[in-house]
């Protein structure tokens, strides 16, 4: 006789259970989630705009995975760095914060390659894609908020010409496509 397999719980199942909670119960649940992980804390701080710098934990994660401590044999992970941006987007997703994280990602990636001579085509491709993401997101900002990002992206572009693999050329083309002067 075959055993009946249980289905995986879904958000709908959780939502149904949440209706049984009163305000005090919901607050206790959120408090437990807050205490359970630093990612939950970062999410809630960003969502409620708490603290001096809601982007700090996301930047720390990006820096850790794109510019690892080579003397501690830390690994590189583009996926974990990109996940930090995705997590921020889920928490609050403000365009200016997303641009800041995308530009910071590009800065960290190019600085690491420039400082340590990393030659990894996948890493370069991910950096160029993030460069394009930064440009697309900057376009969503009001004109007055765009200016601080251009010099930083230009520095990334200039450094990227040191790498080969057409990284700098690809960034030049993207800047031209988005009609940004050097």
pLDDT in tens, 33-74: 888 988 888 888 878 878 888 899 999 999 999 999 999 999
Residue 10 located in a structural domain: no
Residue 157 token pair = 């572009």
Residue 84 located in a structural domain: yes
Q: Quote the number of domains for the chain.
A: 1
Q: What does the pLDDT read at residue 3? A: 64
Residue 5 located in a structural domain: no
Q: What is the pTM of this model?
A: 0.84
* Average confidence (pLDDT) per 10 residues, the chain, 182 residues: 75 85 85 87 82 91 97 96 96 92 98 95 97 95 92 96 94 87 47
Residue 8 located in a structural domain: no
DSSP 75: P
Q: What does the pLDDT read at residue 110? A: 97
Q: What does the pLDDT read at residue 46? A: 78
Domain with 73 in it? 25-177
Q: At what angle do helices 121-138 and 167-177 cross, to 10 degrees?
A: 20
Residue 146 located in a structural domain: yes
Residue 14 located in a structural domain: no
Q: How far is CA 103 from the centre of its chain?
A: 10
Residue 83 located in a structural domain: yes
- Tabulate helix, strand, coil % of the chain (nearest 5): 70, 0, 30
Q: Residue for token digits 């992980």?
A: 37
Residue 80 located in a structural domain: yes
């Amino acid at each position: 006789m075959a055993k009946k397999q249980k289905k995986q719980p879904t958000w709908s199942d959780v939502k149904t259970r949440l209706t049984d909670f009163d305000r005090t119960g919901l607050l206790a649940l959120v408090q437990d989630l807050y205490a359970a992980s630093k990612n939950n804390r970062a999410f809630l701080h960003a969502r409620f705009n708490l603290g001096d710098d809601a982007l700090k934990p996301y930047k720390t994660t990006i820096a850790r995975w794109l510019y690892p401590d080579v003397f501690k044999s830390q690994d590189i992970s583009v996926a974990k760095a990109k996940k930090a941006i995705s997590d921020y987007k889920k928490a609050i997703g403000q365009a200016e914060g997303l641009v800041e994280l995308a530009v910071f990602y590009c800065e960290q990636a190019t600085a690491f390659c420039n400082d340590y001579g990393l030659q990894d085509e996948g890493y370069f491709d991910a950096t160029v894609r993030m460069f394009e993401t930064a440009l697309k997101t900057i376009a969503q900002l009001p004109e007055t908020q765009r200016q601080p990002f251009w010099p930083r992206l230009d520095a990334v572009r200039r450094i990227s010409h040191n790498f080969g693999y057409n990284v700098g050329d690809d960034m030049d083309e993207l800047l031209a496509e988005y009609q940004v002067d050097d």
